[in-house]
Chain A
Amino acid sequence: MSADTYSLKVNGTDRQVTESLPGESLLRVLRERLGFHGSKNACEEGECGSCTVVVNGQTVCSCLVLAESVTGYEITTIEGVADDDGLSDVQQAFIDTGAVQCGFCTPGLVMSVGALLDSVPDPDELAVREAISGNLCRCTGYGRIIEAVSQTVDGRRDDGSRS
């Protein structure tokens, strides 16, 4: 590895980051160096959550993480939440409930909701609201997003009872 190259493990695959500049955020590296454009860049100060990705099982604002500080960690972006070319159940529920309008906040919200449901399979509404409190949506309001979470929870419960 040359002196100015490092590796990030994104969606299960090690990827070399070259030609990076000092102080680049994980968001910038994901978007500009590695071509993962699903994580959105809006505020660059942690306010909006549109850049949310999961690092070692926990949501982070990728704009506030120094890219090199997460070498060796498991990074999951919106591109990595579904198997092959399909959609995850959370993504499908967002579509079904009309929780997507302009779509800019959606990748971040899907990451936050996914991480919540991985740790708390049947959260109460307060837990849902707290889990998405760092994700701003200015189109739909939050009613449909919370509905999408309920639909996902119901779907997983039905799957669980069938299997």
Chain B
Amino acid sequence: MLNGRQHGGVSVTIATSLEDACAALAVEPCPLVLSGGTDLMVEVNRGSRRVGDIVVVNRVPELVGWRRKGDQLRLGAAVTFAEICGSELESLVPALAQAARTVGSPQIRNVATLGGNIATASPAGDSIPVLAALDAVLELRSAEATREVSLRDFITGVKQTCLLPGELIEAVRVPVLDGPQEFCKVGTRNAMVISVASLAILANRGSRRITVGLGSVSPAPLRASDAEDHISPHINWDGGAIPDEATIAHFARLVAGAANPIDDHRSSALYRTHAIRVLARRALSRVLGRLSAT
């Protein structure tokens, strides 16, 4: 451990090994896991969150960086969004890289991490729809045990997760798929925007499936399963013909039908549903265009 300090009854521990991090978390009351801090510090600065003991995990080697093993990627929880959108991951998981590039600003992408985005569990988390569409699996670890949970089981509601006291997210596993991917996001401007609605559409030639993840239109990660079932058999996976306009329009309606949005200060449920339908059509057209071109 590089640094273990106490002041005002609050300790800040900078963990430099996974073992140290887990040991530091295995106390009562459980300290907060801090990675980039871009979500937490907003609340702290505003005075809406009292700071307790903190374990800083973004120097833990096992949480930093990513590696490929066959057709699987293992992304450390402390991989930053800047690392995701400025690396080979752009070609391995294009939709995730696209989503990463829409996170906040360059300053925020330089520190904000994938694991933090997941643990914060905001419905507007930019990585969430992509990870849902990828059937991402999270590797969780505590001093006593390790376990794996799918992203969709991990986030149980608005800012609610099944992370237990003493646990941290160690890594995120996603597949490298054969097929084009697209992420789209609607907000008030291009930069520095919290999404009003977002969507990821991934094509998988291997399983001959289209998968669709939705963002900002439900409390927890959401897939448009009916729309996936509808469109997948209509695609000529060996290249060539793409579905007709009516089939694509029906797909977009089914995607919008899966959304379960609310009215809030950023938008209305009605607009979000409309936006999802437009995004679904647009993203599918782009994916199909590239499917038939390759």
- Whether B45 and A60, one on each chain, are in contact in the complex, defined by CB atoms closer than 8 angstroms, is no
Rounded to whole angstroms, the CA-CA distance of A52 and B31 in the bound complex is 28
Interface string of B23-54 (1 = CB under 8 A from A): 00000000000101110111011100001001
B294 at the interface (CB under 8 A from A): no
Q: A149 CB to closest chain B CB, in angstroms?
A: 14
Residue of B46, B51, B108 with most chain A CB atoms under a 10 A cut-off: B108
The residues in A between 55 and 82 inclusive whose CB is less than 8 angstroms from any CB of B are 58-61, 63-66, 68-69, 71-72
Residue of A whose beta carbon sits closest to that of B51: A23
Interface: B136 (CB within 8 A): no
Residues of A that sit less than 8 Å from B by CB: 3-4, 6, 20-23, 25, 44-47, 49, 52, 58-61, 63-66, 68-69, 71-72, 112, 130-131, 133-135
Say if the beta carbon of B87 comes within 8 Å of chain A.
Answer: no
* Contact-residue bracket for chain B: 35 or more
Q: How far is the CB of B30 from chain A (nearest CB, A)?
A: 17
Q: A21-B8, A61-B38, A65-B41 are in contact. List 6 more A-B contacts (CB 8 A).
A: A3-B7, A22-B8, A65-B111, A66-B37, A133-B105, A134-B104
A47 to B108, CA, bound (A): 9
Let me know if B41 and A66 touch, CB within 8 A.
yes
Contact of B37 (CB < 8 Å), options: A6, A20, A69, A133: A69
Contact B12 A66 (CB under 8 A): yes
Which of A22, A58, A63 gathers the greatest number of chain B CB atoms within 10 Å?
A22
The chain A residue sitting closest to B109, CB to CB, is A134
With an 8 A cutoff between CB atoms, is B163 at the interface?
no
Instruction: List residues 33-89 of chain B with CB under 8 A from any CB of chain A.
Output: 34, 36-38, 40-42, 44-46, 51, 54, 56, 58, 82
A49 to B104, CA, bound (A): 11
What 1/0 flags go to B151-178 for Cβ under 8 Å of A? 0000000000000000000000000000
Given contact pairs A58-B82, A60-B110, A133-B190, A49 touches B5 in the complex (Cβ within 8 A): no
**Pairs across A and B, CB under 8 Å, 14 listed:** A3-B5, A22-B7, A44-B46, A60-B110, A64-B36, A68-B3, A68-B56, A69-B34, A71-B3, A112-B106, A112-B107, A130-B106, A134-B107, A135-B105
Q: Which of B34, B45, B105, B107 has the most CB of A within 10 A?
A: B107
Min distance, Cβ A62 to any Cβ of chain B, angstroms: 9
Chain A residues contacting B110 (CB-CB under 8 Å) are 58-60
Is B10's CB within 8 Å of the partner chain A?
yes
Give the residues in chain A near B54, CB-CB below 8 Å.
Answer: 66
**A109: min CB distance to chain B, Å:** 12
Closest-CB distance, B126 to chain A (whole angstroms): 14
The residues of B that contact A133 with a CB separation of less than 8 Å are: 105-106, 190-192
Residues of A within 8 A of B51 (CB): 22-23
Asked if residues B42 and A64 are in contact (CB atoms below 8 Å), the reply is: yes
Flag whether B2 is at the interface (Cβ < 8 A).
Answer: yes
Complex CA gap A69/B44 in Å reads 15
Please judge, given known A-B contacts A22-B7, A68-B12, A134-B105, whether A63 and B41 are in contact too, CB under 8 Å.
Answer: yes
Contacts of B111 in A (CB 8 A): 58, 60, 64-65
Give B187-222 as 1s and 0s: 1 = Cβ < 8 Å from A's Cβ atoms: 000111000000000000000000000000000000
A90 to B2, CA, bound (A): 36
C-alpha gap A61/B104 in the complex (Å): 11
Q: Is the CB of B34 within 8 A of A66?
A: yes
Q: For the complex, give the distance between the alpha carbons of A61 and B41 in Å.
A: 11
Known contacts: A23-B51, A133-B190. The answer to whether A61 contacts B6 by CB under 8 A is no
A4 surroundings in chain B (CB, below 8 A): 5-8
